[in-house]
Amino acid sequence: MAPPPPPEPEPDMMPAPEDIEPSVSACLVDESCQAVNILFGSNRQIIFGKELESFNRFGSTPETPFTMLNGRRLLLGDITVTVPKKREIGTISRPPEIAGKRLGFALDPKKHFVFVDYGYLSEEEFMATLADKDSAFIFVHGFNVSFKSAAMRAAQLKVDGEFDGQAMIYSWPTQQHSGVNAAPAYRASREEAEAARRYFRQFLDMVRQDTDSQNIHIIAHSMGNYMMMEVLAALAEETEEEGEQFGQIIFAAPDVDRDRFIEWAEQIDGLGRGMTLYASKRDVSMDISRQLCRLQSGEACGPRAGFVPEDGPITLTNATLDTLDVSNLPDRSFTPLDEHDYYGGDLYILKDIGKLIRTGLRAPREDFWEEEGGGPNGRWWRVPEIFRQ
């Protein structure tokens, strides 16, 4: 029998009110940075009341209070992140570290993303905050992503996507790795993604209760789609006669078997105002995920839905899915794995996602997209080859 879940946080576990770090306060006053409040739901084990940042240039980053352990219940809260005004769009800037230590590099809110505070919220407090917003998005992260990285990405998506609504994340306890052998962490993360589904469903049911959920959009990345899609498919079946439950549902580089993705997408169709798939043949992580899947299962695994093979990406003629092939995006760095984060790191895709969420327009939303396909296999849009020249 599984041990009982830990008790709800008590008021004295909450961070005590303290003065904001002077450099952060000054940054907010002179408007060289902006504060972004992010609501979160998570089934991670979270320790409230811990320090989030160190401003000592030779210090260590505090141990994260957002662990990789399954807390076996849904926790709600909020976190505040400051975002520097002067930076390249699509970037998340932090001071360089070696083994968690800053070797003379100071944390500067005018240059870097900074975590200011976080705290526990009751369901009533969470919903009261959400009720004040006309719209919101939920970001669901993928494999090997920390809670803090997910929060920074949500803040960056809100700012760079010019989204006025409430930013939210659902963070599940993916396992992290930094070595060569990712197979054990990947296998454990797939299991954690499956275990997180019950809590994510609880989270979605809560946000649907007292809000205009048709203005709540969902952006899932990589393995986050594997966690999310089965939940949405089950919800769609249960609410089939109730019509649309959410706004836009966005599948970014989904680490999901192609056949399984098609099955789930057809079930999800109609649950939101629209569905959009972003995929790329240059996403190295998709091939790595396929190989890790093979190691996990002991047998061959199909191509991932986020990969574009020679005969083209996934298209659905009987569902309202817009498919966008981003293979021809210009390189952003010398690191091939950066191709996996194009949804948040590329100006063109940020602009496209932002416009999709703000307007609800179906593809193509921007002039640069080229139409491909057609006929019985459906059509899709791609970034032109000239973009890579």
User: What's the average model confidence in pLDDT over 235-245?
Assistant: 87
The predicted model scores a pTM of: 0.92
Q: What is the DSSP letter of 297?
A: H
**For the chain, what is the mean pLDDT?**
88
Reported as type and span, the H/E element at residue 75 is strand 66-84
pLDDT digits (tens, 9 = 90+) for 6-65: 555 544 333 333 457 899 999 999 999 999 999 999 999 999 988 888 887 776 777 789
Report how far residue 275's alpha carbon sits from residue 322's, in angstroms, rounded to the nearest whole number: 6
Reported as a single tens digit per residue, the pLDDT across 253-302 is: 999 999 999 999 999 999 999 999 999 999 989 988 888 888 777 777 88
Whole-number Å distance between alpha carbons of 294 and 190: 13
Cα separation, 333 vs 323, in Å, equals: 25
Q: Where are the domains of the chain?
A: 122-388
Residue 209 pLDDT grade (very low, low, confident, very high; cuts 50, 70, 90): confident
Q: How confident is residue 324, by pLDDT bands cut at 50, 70 and 90?
A: very high
Per the CB < 8 A criterion, the answer to whether 306 and 286 are in contact is yes
> Under CATH, which number does the domain 122-388 receive?
3.40.50.1820
The strands making up 216-221's β-sheet, listed across from edge to edge, are: 114-120, 66-84, 33-46, 166-171, 136-140, 216-221, 246-252, 272-279, 321-325, 379-382, 370-373
Structural contact between residues 169 and 157, judged by C-beta atoms closer than 8 angstroms = no
Distance CA 280, CA 278 (A): 7
Residue 343, classed as helix, strand or coil, is: helix
Tens-digit pLDDT profile for residues 351-375: 999 999 999 999 999 889 999 986 6
Mean pLDDT of 163-175: 96
The tokens for 369 are 């997209």
Would you state the pLDDT for residue 242? 81
Per the listing, tokens 């469903």 go with 201
Task: Give me the residues paired with residue 37 across strands.
Answer: 80
Triad 151, 152, 156: Cα angle to 5°: 120
Q: Count of residues for the chain? A: 389
Q: Report the 10 Å Cβ neighbour count for 380.
A: 24
Residue 193 pLDDT greater than 60, yes or no: yes
Pairing of strands 370-373, 136-140: unpaired
Buried b (16+ CB within 10 A) or exposed e, 153-166: bbbbbbbbbebebb
Distance between the two ends of the chain, CA-based, in angstroms? 59
Residue with the bigger pLDDT between 209 and 151: it is: 151
- Counts of helices then strands in the chain (DSSP H, E): 9, 11
Of residues 30 and 311, more confidently modeled:
30
- Long-range contacts of 293-299, Cβ-Cβ distance < 8 Å, separation of 24 or more: 293/257, 295/183, 295/186, 295/187, 296/183, 296/186, 296/187, 296/190
Would you give the DSSP letter of residue 10?
P
Q: pLDDT at position 11, please?
A: 41
Q: Do residues 129 and 78 lie in contact, with contact meaning Cβ atoms separated by under 8 Å?
A: yes
Which tens digit of pLDDT belongs to each residue from 77-113? 999 999 999 999 999 999 887 766 777 788 899 999 9
pLDDT in tens, 129-154: 999 899 999 999 999 999 999 999 99
| Cβ proximity of 137 and 165 under 8 Å | yes
Task: Copy the structure tokens of residue 260.
Answer: 């399984």
* Burial letters 177-207, b for 16+ CB under 10 A, else e: beeeebeebbbbbbebbeebbebbbebbebb
Residue 102 neighbours by CB distance under 10 Å: 20
CB-neighbour burial class of residue 8 (10 A; exposed 0-12, middle 13-18, buried 19+)? exposed
